[in-house]
Amino acid sequence: MTRHDQINPEGQRHAVVIGAGLGGLAAGMRLGAQGWRVTLLDRLDMPGGRASAIMSRGHRFDLGPTIVTAPQVFRQLFADCGRNFDDAVTLKPLDPFYTIRWPDGSHLDAFAGDQAMEDEVTRLAPDDVKGWRAFLEDSRKRYLVGYEGMLTKPMHKLWSTLKVLPEFALLRADRSILGLARSRVRDERLRMALSFHPLFIGGDPSRVTSMYALVSYLEKTQGVHYAMGGVGQMAKAMADVIADQGGLLRFKSQVDTVLQSPSGRARGVRLTSGEEIASDIVVSNADAGHTYGKLAKGTRRWTGRKLDRTKWSMGLFVWYFGTKGTRDMWKDVGHHTILSGPRYEGLLNDIFRRGHLADDMSLYVHRPSVTDPDVAPDGDDTFYALSPVPHLGHRNPVNWSQEVERYRDRVQQVLEDRLLPGLGERITATMCLTPEDFRDRYLSPHGCGFSIEPRILQSAWFRPHNVSEEVPGLYLVGAGTHPGAGLPGVVASAEVLQKVVPQNVPHAQPHPMTQAAE
């Protein structure tokens, strides 16, 4: 029998981190580098959270994020921990970044080079080249303010947000990113191409602030990359650093409650098994809604009522499938493809406001086997097709146990008609994740794909803070806190954490310990 919750007799401070997603892993690395003893807990059987993977019939299905932007965020994280990221993970730059295809047969390749990109815009919408250039300048200005200026800065004090409001006002942060695109270009396809990026962090482009136009400049300057072995390989490399630092990673361990002292300070966690683990601080990489709705209930700010009024990101339907003997087929289908549906704004309205599962859809199609042959058997392909769908919190939520096969059939039909002819004859492995799976596997409120939607009044100070003012000793990282969802955001949240955890944290008072089975 071993005890996992003893306070180190030599006085080393102990941090419990809930959740081994990339935010929790980054938090564990940074705390470990500062001399903390780290215990990281996750209910899954592997690190990565949504960035984990599943093997099926020789295919590796990367379940979550696939696009790596801002690789410097990872390199800095590893460097701050005395490691070299590139020794552990191989990033391969992609060019083009992705291809967008429209129902009329037109397409746009997003290239890294300025001239190549301008040539694409000229081909697609020659009258909008000047407006496209203006949008890129809009993007650059927002990058300087919103990314370089705010990404790793704590925003738990109202003044931190108030002092950037003049710059936000000058940049018309009150306008949506789709509104900004409309003001610059006339071609509806190009408007979609310039405004769709917030969907990758769960935001409605017709409602999300135009500050997210910064992604275009981020892609242009830092590129779009693929991690060989998948983002799960990055998670494994991060977990290895924590282990090398002396941290303890425990999988298949679900936290039920954040324990609090009589004064209200976080003093550890209780697992669903009943085991209690004492610590000096608790860091939650669980969804912020789950943290305040389940693990640390009773706060005055993030009450159940407020969580119910919060605007949440959309849900995701993801179909993972393998195909036989197709590596040399579908030559024009690259690593990342976006199939835009016949409606853009109407579909956004169905997904985010009406909660209606429409028959038409837009799809993001991931084909990693063109870059990383090891994801599939020789000559075969591994894919996933992702469709944004309503989350489960709408008045009449979708019953996915009844809809899953019908909707999967519809996704397959769209793929056969527009991208992968003959697909049905080639499928060898198949599985689906729906919002119900996101709810059950990741404990995501309403089965959302990306936690709280990144609207302007749900960002920075208005978002759940990295430091809980109401439960001293409780800290938050990950998609539901500042700076938000997406790989750079969740990893950067750990750098914010490092700045808000004081060096003189008082030791937790020892309390009766429960033995854990070896």
pLDDT in tens, 316-333: 999 999 999 999 999 999
Q: Which two tokens stand for residue 210?
A: 């135009």
Q: Are 86 and 93 in contact (CB under 8 A)?
A: no
Cα-trace Rg, the chain: 23
- DSSP-derived letter for residue 14 is E
Single-letter amino acid, residue 423: L
Q: Which two tokens stand for residue 464?
A: 């759940």
Q: CA angle at residue 126 from 123 to 131, to 5 degrees?
A: 125
Q: Using CA atoms, how far apart are residues 316 and 424, in angstroms rounded to an integer?
A: 22
Which residues does residue 467 pair with via DSSP β-bridges, in sequence order? Answer: 475
Q: Are 258 and 470 in contact (CB under 8 A)?
A: no
Nearest to 142 by CA among 117, 177, 101: 177
Q: Are 365 and 385 in contact (CB under 8 A)?
A: yes
Buried b or exposed e, range 408-427, using 16+ CB within 10 angstroms: bebbbebbeebbbeebeebe
Task: Please give the backbone phi and psi of residue 164, each rounded to the nearest 5 degrees, phi first.
Answer: -95, -5
Q: Are 422 and 284 in contact (CB under 8 A)?
A: no
Q: Using CA atoms, how far apart are residues 164 and 366, in angstroms rounded to an integer?
A: 37
Q: Using CA atoms, how far apart are residues 214 and 171, in angstroms rounded to an integer?
A: 11
Q: Using CA atoms, how far apart are residues 410 and 398, in angstroms rounded to an integer?
A: 16
Exposed, middle or buried, 243 (CB in 10 Å: 0-12/13-18/19+)?
middle
pTM: 0.93
Cis peptide before 510 (omega within 30 of 0): no
Single-letter amino acid, residue 202: G
Task: Please give the backbone phi and psi of residue 361, each rounded to the nearest 5 degrees, phi first.
Answer: -160, 160
Single-letter amino acid, residue 222: Q
Residue carrying structure tokens 């102990």? 14
Query: What's the 3-state SS for 287-337?
Result: CHHHHHHHHCCCCCCCCHHHHHHCCECCEEEEEEEEECCCCCCCCCCCCEE
From first CA to last CA, the distance across the chain in angstroms is 5
Q: Which two tokens stand for residue 505?
A: 């944290």
Q: Are 25 and 47 in contact (CB under 8 A)?
A: yes
CA 102 vs. chain centroid, Å, equals 26
- DSSP-derived letter for residue 139 is H
Q: Using CA atoms, how far apart are residues 148 and 171, in angstroms rounded to an integer?
A: 15
Query: What helix, strand, coil percent values describe the chain, rounded to 5?
Result: 40, 20, 40
For residue 62, what is the enclosing H or E element?
A: strand 59-62
Nearest to 485 by CA among 456, 442, 453, 441: 453
In a structure prediction context, what are the per-residue pLDDT tens digits for the chain, which is 518 residues long?
233 444 444 678 999 999 999 999 999 999 999 999 999 999 999 999 999 999 999 999 999 999 999 999 999 999 999 999 999 999 999 999 999 999 999 999 999 999 999 999 999 999 999 999 999 999 999 999 988 888 888 888 876 778 787 888 888 888 999 999 999 999 999 999 999 999 999 999 999 999 999 999 999 999 999 999 999 999 999 999 999 999 999 999 999 999 999 999 999 999 999 999 999 999 999 999 999 999 998 788 888 889 989 999 999 999 999 999 999 999 999 999 999 999 999 999 999 999 999 999 999 999 999 999 999 999 999 999 999 999 999 999 999 999 999 999 999 999 999 999 999 999 999 999 999 999 999 999 999 999 999 998 888 888 999 999 889 999 999 999 999 999 999 999 999 999 999 876 666 554 433 333 33
Q: Using CA atoms, how far apart are residues 301 and 292, in angstroms rounded to an integer?
A: 9
Task: Please give the backbone phi and psi of residue 456, each rounded to the nearest 5 degrees, phi first.
Answer: -65, -35
